[in-house]
Structure 1
Amino acid sequence: MKVYKTEQIRNIALTGNAGSGKTTLAEAMLFEGGVINRRGEVTSKNTVSDYTPIEQEYGNSVLSTLLYTECKGVKINILDTPGMDDLCGGVVSSLNVTDLCLVAVNATNGVESGTVAAVRHTETAELPFMFVFNQLDHDNSNFDAALEQCKASFGNKVTVVQYPVDAGPDFSAIVDVLKMKMYKYGPNGGKPEILDIPDSEKDKAEELHNELVEMAAENEEALMELYFDKGSLSEEEMRKGMKLGMLQRDLLPVFCTCAKKDMGVERLMEFIANNAPNPKERPMRPVVDGKELKMDESDSPSLFVFKTAVESHVGEITYFKVMSGKIKEGLDLINTKSGNKERLSQVFASAGKNREKVEELVAGDLGCTVKLKETKFNQTLATKEADTKYEPIKFPASKHTVAMKAENESDDEKMGEILNRIKFEDPTFVIEYSKELKQLLVHGQGEYHMNVLKWYFDNVHKIDVNYIQPKIPYRETITKPAQSDYRHKKQSGGAGQFGEVHMIIEPYSEGSEPKTAFKIADKEYKMSVRDVQEHKLPWGGKLIFTNCIVGGSIDARFLPAILKGIMEKMEEGPLTGSYARDIRVYVYDGKMHPVDSNEISFKLAGRNAFSKAFKIAGPKILEPICNLEVWVPSDRMGDTMSDLQGRRAMIMGMGSERGMEKISAKVPQKEMYRYATSLSSITGGRGVFNIAFDGYEKVPAEVQDELLKAYEAEQDEE
């Protein structure tokens, strides 16, 4: 394989809704570029992309796949990505190492949830994108309706470069208003006949050509002046204006294909070769640490790992983008995270499961290697002198959580090891063992995402695992002051134990000052505040420990033991065993014994005095509340609102955004289990949402009663 210079490289990502024909389009592009000599089909399970067992069983892309093809002496690297937004990790990582995104649109269905999600991810990545209307030969294909949906969703930047003649079963011709030619295909596609535009299409083509010229001219002042002077632009001038517009995301070209019959694919590749930005024309990935390098083959070599995969018979495969310099077989680089040396024993250009050894890859190219010792995704390899560390890819926050448990306890350790490996292959999985809930939690993007994970356990690792609803991390606090005292006394043969503690506890709110007097149960207590300690709790909230001891009734050396006893009890609230928070404790009196008093005695006395006081201080359960943002089509607004109200949501605001209706709300975490599935069902897969923890609030009385009964039943079982 020849070595391509940076200017001869185009990196593109194929995105779009599941079923829009991305994998079939990639197959046709590889066929046109001569990388394969026969086009496979998804239904026949013989495509270059979608080659893993899970993808062949599911019938759609689950992982991103690196491919390459060639057109006019230009190497086009393609990342074929999953269409389900639950599997967005492959999309996000791909958009971070490519320079143009092709959003495939099913001409029968128009704008779908995956279309909206793909465009949303390009916004985050600040990446140019264009539309490819595919499957124009279907019975119900409707180019005009799909185009109108695109313009309604993404604005008038959507600009027709090609449109079909007679979309549907008889589709065989595309009018290209950039070249002002018609491409006529035979029944099996392949090489087209390039013809003049027929009279029946001339008026429409001229109108769209003029629109395209105007859109191209708007992107540079010099082009605008040329347009005003000449009334038009040459093809070369239009291409320059279009490229500028695409780079600024001000122009979104529309192309037409029937990938299954290889119609329009060669012309699409030609446009990419001529108009897509090369890696030098896009901003360099920011550097976190070390020397800032240039996207230049003469600079010091460095690469950024965007994907790690494991394949049977091959082992771990590391996919990377060459950020600077040249990468050759046998090159030694430093992992800038660990400082350890890695040798690139082999370097490959990747076409799915087919990998071709290459002499070298230059800055901007995508490739892979095998058998690295420790380098994983989001890590940088660079020379020791540069010590460059590129900014990591940021993945979307989790939207769905399950607790995971092996069917057989003996498999627990193995399950943990597998999960630890999987999170490197798919970084949108977040694995966490909650000490508080005593559960292994797996956070992901949705129920489909979790089904993929379970498939691997069932079919690859042969371990039976169960998903269960995760427990909720409730908190407990108090609502009124309470007084208690406790004497710990123990005599057993030798030295005894003695400690007595008197305390008052009250609710704490941020910024409040300690009180100097209380009236509890008709009895008055005066406090002489000598010392205040503020303790931020690991689980949120605070404990304020106030020393009000006068006259030496308790020696100062025993106060840390009392505090320790209180802290231990705060880890186990009396209502549901949840952590307690936001409490101020006043230790104001007590008794010691000259011989038997020690730290353990006062720790137990403090612990029990606090427990007694907590139970009579109006204890209340707090629940975690989440900030929720939901985007739904206007015709599903009512159903979505009804569903949220059934989840005890408090609606904070509504508006319109990106052609969708946006709802902002605060919702208890308890009510959000499987919300991703519910929203998808309500909106036909078109709704999307973001969720983030906000804080804790008191639960309603009826909910508290339910929780108390459930906790009592659980304790009885144990």
Structure 2
Amino acid sequence: MSAQTKDLRNVVMLGHSGSGKTTLIEAMLYEGGAIRRRGSVESHNTVSDNTDLEHQRENTIFSHQMFVNWKNNKINVLDTPGFDDFVGEVISSLKVSDTAVIVLNAASGVEVGTELVWEYLQHYKTPAVFVINQMDHPKADYDSTLQQARERFGSRVVPVQYPLSSGGQFNQIVDALRMVLYEFPESGGKPEKKPIPESEMSRANELHNALVEIAAENEEGLMEKYFEQGTLTEEELAKGITIALAHQQFFPVFVTSGLKDMGSGRIMGFIDDIAPSPLDRPARKLQDGNDLHCDPSEKTTVFIYKSTSEPQVGMLSYFKVMSGILKPGDELVNADTGEVERIAQLFISEGKERIPVTQLEAGDLGVTVKLKSARTNCTLNARGISRSIRPMEFPESRVRKAVWAETTADTEKLFAALNKLKEEDPTLKLDIDADTHEAIIGGQGQLHLDLLKHRLERDFGVKMQMKDPRISYRETITGRADADYRHKKQSGGAGQFAEIHMRVENYNDGMEEPAGLSIRQKDIEDLPWGGKLAFYWCIVGGAIDNRYIGAIKKGIMQQMKNGPLTGSPCQNVRVVVYDGKMHSVDSNDISFQLAASGAFKDGFNNARPQLLEPMYHVEILCPEETTGDVMGDLQTRRAMITGMDSEGHYQKIMAEVPLAEMNDYGSSLRSLTGGKAKFSMKFSDYQLVPTNVQQDLVHNYRAATVEV
């Protein structure tokens, strides 16, 4: 079960939900002899979708590692979810794969989930094979699906096969690479090889010629040989096609019915013969810029691409051996922490079944248990070497919820559980909002967070509540006001006295200096919550002693932390202290601190205060026919459309949208487009809140303050 590096093929299955990846994998495992009978998603007995959650939803939620031996090679197969709520599972699987199989639904064409994985596939420069699956579907349309793939992904998408018929009649595939017709029995399985019908020879030859040209670009003399012989075998084309596939010069297209087990064996044969082994892939770039080649003769380096916990077992760590040979008992050093991890047990995975092995060579995938602290994105090295694989980067959260335990007694338990689940799923984010003091969980979609809640209750016995988080507003001013404030307190003995005159105005970089004042000190401070405070000390004649500057700034900052409109932090303000009074006995730091706070509050309130709200840059990719509905919905969310573009047969809409309007956006978009759209969002800046919205926010804040 352990294989040499040259005999390994690491394949990740990608595609939109419903494309039939899991069913196709089941057929591939069956054809390779890894299983004796094919399971089904509906019967909840597939090798891949093997968790209770996946059985309940009848969808892939987690990535799953499997393998099948084909001829002399070991093919590792990674199944991935089709919902972009679980994109982290896709990214991690792509990181350790050497070939991608992109599964398209022949009845639905190129769907938005495919667009999503294509972006990551290009990032990792992974060779890819397209499979038009479900050719037995009544609405299957090979030509339309192929055309969409070529429009979206380019002319390098080249058909290797095409069906003679589709729907219930699908049982014949013309293979232009091998120049043969495959005819399948009604029950599927092993086909009979037949000559291509004369009526199809023109089309088949045209496709074959295209493949010869692709191969000839990478192998000298091939074209001459073709002219001499009139055709070439797959073996003769193999070298040129392997190079072309490895360098993303072409993306071959095959056809299958995973449900009927028609065409899956041909996919396996192509992967076995043509797909690159780990030895054929470019060297990995390390954090320090050096290269790491997948070489079994090198010292051992292991990269953990996924961590997950299992009851009665503990933490499972899924990994790829990047170099060297790994054996049970090996001690490796965590490149991030320096901690030594002992690999007590070594397994390969066939879905939920773990099979012990005595070693794994460079390029192979495996799993171990109970590592002390190494988790996803960690690099483990043999002693004496220092290598760090570049970590995976995961997208920003697209949905945020404030969370708390249903009972106070469970609060500590809740956060312990959330931190544990964060170790398993790097796309989950947990933060405490510095302004609102709420615990905020961020995820890729509402489904993502709903399943998180389900796992908390099922696996940890903690009930979590969720609600839309309070928005972290900012306060600023758009005008200018002078203010003076006297603090005086007398209660026997030394009292308190301070008087301050200040100007409060909006600040922006490059503005003119205050006119008619003598500037003695100027500080431009970057505030912890963003924006700036420009503090000018313009006191002349000793009206206020310089030793009180620190106390005055402290008083201003305290007031700025909790602005007068909604208690939100203030930013981009210039404060000019130009006059005041002090007392030789009663003046002290606390007096000037309180006077500065009072003067700033009065000045701020009289300088046309304005709320600012966080704006996010949002990009939506949706079918053209839903563009109007999507844009109409954005307008109800106070969005400003900043641009539109075409990406294949999809429309890309770019907009600036207030965060306050984005809480339910994922669910709304899915409803508007039938699940055929995706979006991403990233913080842009703070912008002025419309007057009517500000009035409501201020009113609600003051009402809540009175109640308290």
**1:661 positional shift:** 2.0
For 1:657 and 1:296, the matched residues in 2 are separated by: 40
Asked if the contact 2:283–2:291 (Cα under 8 Å) also holds between the matched residues in 1, the reply is no
Letter in structure 1 aligned against 2:611: I
Tell me the equivalent position of 1:268.
267
Aligned pairs for 1:276-287 (under 5 A) are: 276-287=275-286
For 1:293 and 1:154, the matched residues in 2 are separated by: 30
Per-residue Cα deviation, 1:473-505 (whole angstroms, up to 9, x for no partner) = 111111112111222222334433222222111
Matched, 1:91 2:90: yes
User: Bigger shift: 566-575 or 508-517?
Assistant: 508-517
For 1:110 and 1:638, the matched residues in 2 are separated by: 22
For 1:158 and 1:83, the matched residues in 2 are separated by: 21
Tell me the equivalent position of 2:43.
44
Letter in structure 1 aligned against 2:180: K
Aligned pairs for 1:495-514 (under 5 A) are: 495-514=494-513
Tell me the equivalent position of 2:408.
409
Letter in structure 2 aligned against 1:694: S
Pick one of 511, 523, 542 that aligns with 1:552.
542
**1:232 positional shift:** 4.5
Tell me the equivalent position of 1:166.
165
Tell me the equivalent position of 1:252.
251
Asked if the contact 2:112–2:621 (Cα under 8 Å) also holds between the matched residues in 1, the reply is no
Aligned pairs for 1:514-663 (under 5 A) are: 514-517=513-516, 527-663=517-653
Per-residue Cα deviation, 1:305-342 (whole angstroms, up to 9, x for no partner) = 10001111211000111111111100011001111100
**1:610 positional shift:** 0.8
Query: Aligned pair count?
Result: 708
Tell me the equivalent position of 2:194.
195
Matched, 1:103 2:93: no
**1:690 positional shift:** 2.5
For 2:428 and 2:316, the matched residues in 1 are separated by: 19
Asked if the contact 1:154–1:659 (Cα under 8 Å) also holds between the matched residues in 2, the reply is no
User: Bigger shift: 276-285 or 74-83?
Assistant: 276-285
TM-score (norm 1): 0.95
Tell me the equivalent position of 1:486.
485
Letter in structure 1 aligned against 2:363: G
For 1:226 and 1:409, the matched residues in 2 are separated by: 78
Tell me the equivalent position of 2:680.
690
Matched, 1:668 2:667: no
For 1:233 and 1:491, the matched residues in 2 are separated by: 104
For residue 260 of structure 1, give the secondary structure of its aligned residue in structure 2. Answer: coil
For 1:658 and 1:537, the matched residues in 2 are separated by: 44
For 2:431 and 2:284, the matched residues in 1 are separated by: 30
Letter in structure 1 aligned against 2:9: R
Letter in structure 2 aligned against 1:599: D
**1:403 positional shift:** 1.5
For 2:645 and 2:290, the matched residues in 1 are separated by: 45
Change in Cα spacing, 1:76 to 1:185, as seen in structure 2 (3 Å) is same
Letter in structure 2 aligned against 1:319: Y
Per-residue Cα deviation, 1:613-654 (whole angstroms, up to 9, x for no partner) = 111111111112222222222222222222222222222222
Pick one of 677, 693, 699 that aligns with 2:667.
677
**1:218 positional shift:** 4.1
For 1:262 and 1:347, the matched residues in 2 are separated by: 33
**1:445 positional shift:** 1.1
For 2:143 and 2:399, the matched residues in 1 are separated by: 37
User: Bigger shift: 250-259 or 675-684?
Assistant: 675-684
User: Bigger shift: 594-603 or 568-577?
Assistant: 594-603
Change in Cα spacing, 1:184 to 1:380, as seen in structure 2 (3 Å) is same
For residue 568 of structure 1, give the secondary structure of its aligned residue in structure 2. Answer: helix
**1:528 positional shift:** 1.4
Asked if the contact 1:428–1:444 (Cα under 8 Å) also holds between the matched residues in 2, the reply is yes
Letter in structure 2 aligned against 1:646: T
For 1:560 and 1:218, the matched residues in 2 are separated by: 73
Aligned pairs for 1:106-125 (under 5 A) are: 106-125=105-124
Tell me the equivalent position of 1:520.
none
**1:66 positional shift:** 0.8
For residue 694 of structure 2, give the secondary structure of its aligned residue in structure 1. Answer: helix
**1:404 positional shift:** 1.6
Asked if the contact 1:350–1:367 (Cα under 8 Å) also holds between the matched residues in 2, the reply is yes
**1:152 positional shift:** 2.7
Asked if the contact 1:292–1:388 (Cα under 8 Å) also holds between the matched residues in 2, the reply is no
Asked if the contact 2:505–2:573 (Cα under 8 Å) also holds between the matched residues in 1, the reply is yes
For residue 549 of structure 1, give the secondary structure of its aligned residue in structure 2. Answer: coil
Letter in structure 2 aligned against 1:382: N
For 1:146 and 1:640, the matched residues in 2 are separated by: 24
TM-score (norm 2): 0.96
Letter in structure 2 aligned against 1:670: A
**1:224 positional shift:** 5.1
For residue 136 of structure 2, give the secondary structure of its aligned residue in structure 1. Answer: coil
Per-residue Cα deviation, 1:21-61 (whole angstroms, up to 9, x for no partner) = 11122222222222222222111111111111111111111
**1:400 positional shift:** 1.5
For 1:450 and 1:298, the matched residues in 2 are separated by: 44
Letter in structure 2 aligned against 1:102: V
Letter in structure 1 aligned against 2:500: V
Change in Cα spacing, 1:618 to 1:226, as seen in structure 2 (3 Å) is farther
Letter in structure 1 aligned against 2:704: E
Tell me the equivalent position of 1:323.
322
Tell me the equivalent position of 1:521.
none
For 1:511 and 1:294, the matched residues in 2 are separated by: 52
Tell me the equivalent position of 1:217.
216
For 1:250 and 1:676, the matched residues in 2 are separated by: 36
**Pairwise CA RMSD:** 1.9
For residue 699 of structure 2, give the secondary structure of its aligned residue in structure 1. Answer: helix
Instruction: Give 4+ residue runs of structure 1 displaced > 6 Å after superposition.
Output: none
Change in Cα spacing, 1:398 to 1:222, as seen in structure 2 (3 Å) is farther
**1:682 positional shift:** 2.3
Aligned pairs for 1:61-460 (under 5 A) are: 61-219=60-218, 223=222, 232-289=231-288, 292-460=291-459
For residue 326 of structure 2, give the secondary structure of its aligned residue in structure 1. Answer: strand
Change in Cα spacing, 1:551 to 1:384, as seen in structure 2 (3 Å) is farther
**1:154 positional shift:** 2.1
**Alignment gaps of 5+ in structure 2:** none
For 2:139 and 2:149, the matched residues in 1 are separated by: 17
